[in-house]
Amino acid sequence: MTILLPSLRRLRGALHVVTAMGLAFGLLSARNLRAAELDGAEPSAASEDSTLLLADELVTDETGNIVTATGAVEIQRGNLLMLADKIVYDRRGDVATATGHVAILESNGSVFFFESIQVTGDLKEGLAQEVRVLLSDKSRLASRAFRRIPGGVNELYSAVYTACDSCADENPLWQLKAGRVQYDADAEMVYYRNAWLEFGGIPVFYTPYLAHPDPTAGPKSGLLLPTIGAGRNLGLSYQQPYYIHLSDTRDATITPFLTTSAGKGAIGEYRQNFKKGQMRLFGSLMAGDPGSDEDVRGHIKSWARWDINQHWRSGTDINLATDRTYLRRYGFDAPTWLTTNVFAERFSQSTYFSANTYYFQRQRIPLTNNSVPLVTPLLTYNYTSTPDSWGGYWTVDGNGLVLVRERGTDTSRLSSRVGWNLPYTSPLGDVYTFRAGVRGDGYYVRDQFRPTTNDSFTGTTGRMIPEASLEWRMPFISNEYGFQQMFEPIVLAAVSPIGVNPEKIPNEDSLDLEFDDTNLFSMQRFAGLDRVETGARVNYGLKWSGFRQNGGSMSVLLGQVYRFHDDAIFSQLSGLRGHFSDIVGRVDFTPNPYVDMQYRFRLDKNSLVSRRSEVSLATGTDPFRIGGTYVFVTSDGTLPGIPNNTEELYLSASSKLNRNWSLVVGHRHNLSAGGGPIRTDVGITYEDECFILGFDIANDRTQDRDFKRGVAVMFRINLKTIGDLRFNTEVNSPR
């Protein structure tokens, strides 16, 4: 059966009440009909207990029991509206027969089309031979027979449903054929009995029962379509989600997770919105995995936010797993570190305060047992004053930290800094910024190892660090021949005392030092407070930017640091050791909206050999777009589990092949010695107004304990307005 719908041109007139010559008004109740006087008055709106009739001509027979309305007839009762060319109403039987381009408009936006239909006077019951239905999301229903029963339920027999556009000479891409369909407008549900799913007119799937919400419905409880998979990690697997609608602000999803090689369990998710906050809980539990020593494995990934008032906010992010390979083995998102954080924040116009607690779990290369710290708490306070008459302003920063381990160094720290900042622009246009401050740090540490004395220190220690800096910028601007340029030399001189990084102070938050263009003109390049950049130094560089009036831009930044003493706090590979630092820079090039390129680099100060290179390029439009990123980093080797050199290439391409088909390709490759392909992804998708077909294949070359490398395939079908069906297959290679 092909579903074709008539034009909705007639429905537009149903939204307006007009008075014209020969127009008669009538009030039709369930048992009574009388003609309204033609006094030019507007008719009253129809209520649930009365029916409003509008027609070009209204005729009553001699007995007064048969009323015939013809010519653009409209009947409205409550939120229901019926249009027809002719309606004959039998008062004794309370039955109206409508013929000729009949349409019934429901309050939810659905429209029923008939050639003829018999209805009761209150429009609550009706019979018809043929019906075509246009739902509010443009999906369609059609059937050979129709019955309307009290309670807002419409029954269709030998019915067809589809969300696809239909043509008279061909079947839609997919359609559901059912012996009986119940469309319950009040419950906002569509129910099918003995249904076949057809693709291109070919039956492919049978179910004795199927239900889905109508397009106007909100969330409804019920089964979602399953995920089916196969592979070396899990064997055969099956996930069957069940959605639970608890209220307008709460819902949940429970998903039994069955495998043949990795046990059985379930996935759960709970979501709730509050008046001033949100909460999402997601987790899983699996038992009976023969490849693991754990009887029960699982994880939790949850977050919550609570806006206490206009100044205070609190929240939590919980990310925990029972072991280091669980997430990858069962197909969940698996970052290198799982971070659990509980926090509270206060904002005001000039201050910021936060209190945080952190717990970490490493998911890749293991660290020393029980050496991962627990941070409880980390306190931060910042204050910025209003500018004085000279434009200067004060800053106050405070920090408190308690960090403990089961094995290793424990640290307690209190730190505060007071600073004064004065920006100034001279009559020549050059910009000066003077900064001065003093910082004090106090520590209590336990079992801090000191390499020079080969012992451990337990006790209190501290330091006082005065510091000052002066930054100068001189922008030169030209605008000629439709091209605007800005050339800006930048110099920042800073000074602070030498020898304020004693071995008694542990390094907990300043291990990850990366010297690049983003911190070239910073007073302190360490990410945290445990290590301090000391001595007298000068940061200097040049910045050039060019802009075309008709679009396109380019900018270049190049700079270096000179130190008056060699600070041993920096490693040889950091790029900051010695009097002269390595040279860092960045090039951004966007000649037009279709090309975007960036090059970031760090060059050896003596040989100009690359110590860090990062090149990214993206070009094209929706029909075809390609991108690539190349990264080369020489590490200082201070972070455990991080190799000395990293060299990787990532390539991607996407293409909108035509209106319906699209392609995405990605490849990540390790270019280091002994490296090779890391992961390759290919995805192709078909999408139209009613259907999504996706095919994705990924070859993951990584191996992580009980996570096995190999090829994974996913096939996804999404029937719009109904749901999606996923099939996963993994073909795993031994190497």
- Beta-strand pair 227-231/723-731: parallel
Q: Which residues contact 362 (CB under 8 A, 6 or more apart)?
A: 324, 336, 337, 338, 372
**Largest interatomic CA distance in the chain:** 120
* Helix, coil or strand: residue 310: coil
Q: Which pLDDT does position 702 carry in this prediction?
A: 74
Can you tell me the distance from the alpha carbon of 663 to that of 679, in angstroms, rounded to the nearest whole number?
Answer: 17
∠ at Cα 31 (26, 32), nearest 5°? Answer: 35
Can you tell me the distance from the alpha carbon of 445 to that of 411, in angstroms, rounded to the nearest whole number?
Answer: 5
Of 542, 627, 551, nearest to 590 by C-alpha is 551
| DSSP annotation string for 555-583 | EEEEEEEEESS--TTS-TTSS--SSBPPE
Q: How many other C-beta atoms are found inside a 10 Å radius of the C-beta of residue 84?
A: 27
Q: Which pLDDT does position 486 carry in this prediction?
A: 94
Average pLDDT per consecutive 10 residues, the chain (735 residues; last block may be shorter): 48 32 29 32 54 86 86 85 91 90 87 92 86 87 90 88 76 88 84 89 87 75 75 82 89 93 94 94 93 89 94 96 89 89 96 96 67 91 95 96 92 97 94 97 94 92 96 93 91 95 92 90 92 95 92 94 91 89 96 93 92 94 92 66 75 90 93 85 87 81 68 74 50 38
Determine which helix (DSSP H) or strand (DSSP E) holds 326, and give its type and residue range: helix 326-329
Q: Which pLDDT does position 367 carry in this prediction?
A: 57
Q: How many other C-beta atoms are found inside a 10 Å radius of the C-beta of residue 190?
A: 29
Can you tell me the distance from the alpha carbon of 595 to that of 589, in angstroms, rounded to the nearest whole number?
Answer: 8
Q: Are 85 and 74 in contact (CB under 8 A)?
A: no
Please compute, for residue 663, the number of CA atoms within 13 A of its CA located in the half-sphere on the CB side. Answer: 10
pTM (predicted TM-score): 0.74
Q: Which residues contact 516 (CB under 8 A, 6 or more apart)?
A: 584, 600, 602, 612
Q: Could you tell me the two tokens for 216?
A: 């106007």
Can you tell me the distance from the alpha carbon of 531 to that of 523, in angstroms, rounded to the nearest whole number?
Answer: 13
Phi, psi of 296 (to 5 degrees): -130, 130
What is the distance of C-alpha 220 from the center of its chain? 23
Q: Are 663 and 683 in contact (CB under 8 A)?
A: yes
Can you tell me the distance from the alpha carbon of 152 to that of 116, in angstroms, rounded to the nearest whole number?
Answer: 19
* Domains, in order of start, for the chain: 9-213 (2.60.450.10)
Can you tell me the distance from the alpha carbon of 85 to that of 68, in angstroms, rounded to the nearest whole number?
Answer: 11
Tell me how far CA of residue 313 lies from CA of 1, 140, 340, 346, 354, in angstroms.
58, 47, 17, 6, 9
Q: Running DSSP on this structure, what letter comes out for residue 389?
A: T
Q: Could you tell me the two tokens for 276?
A: 């001033």
Can you tell me the distance from the alpha carbon of 452 to that of 93, in angstroms, rounded to the nearest whole number?
Answer: 107
Can you tell me the distance from the alpha carbon of 102 to that of 132, in angstroms, rounded to the nearest whole number?
Answer: 11
* Helix, coil or strand: residue 70: strand
- Determine the residue type at 626: I
Which residues share a beta bridge with 484?
A: 479, 547
Instruction: Count Cβ atoms within 10 A of the Cβ of residue 545 and give its class: 0-12 exposed, 13-18 middle, 19 or more buried.
Output: middle
Q: Are 619 and 625 in contact (CB under 8 A)?
A: yes
Tell me how far CA of residue 383 lies from CA of 245, 357, 523, 568, in angstroms.
45, 22, 19, 33
Which residues share a beta bridge with 119?
A: 96, 126
What is the distance of C-alpha 37 from the center of its chain? 61
Can you tell me the distance from the alpha carbon of 362 to that of 626, in angstroms, rounded to the nearest whole number?
Answer: 34
Q: Could you tell me the two tokens for 615?
A: 């090149």
Phi, psi of 14 (to 5 degrees): -70, -15
Q: Are 708 and 328 in contact (CB under 8 A)?
A: no
Q: Which pLDDT does position 12 carry in this prediction?
A: 36
Q: Which pLDDT does position 368 carry in this prediction?
A: 56
Can you tell me the distance from the alpha carbon of 268 to that of 283, in angstroms, rounded to the nearest whole number?
Answer: 6
Q: Which pLDDT does position 707 carry in this prediction?
A: 65
Q: Which pLDDT does position 369 carry in this prediction?
A: 52
Q: Which pLDDT does position 643 carry in this prediction?
A: 53
Of 62, 217, 206, 209, nearest to 139 by C-alpha is 217
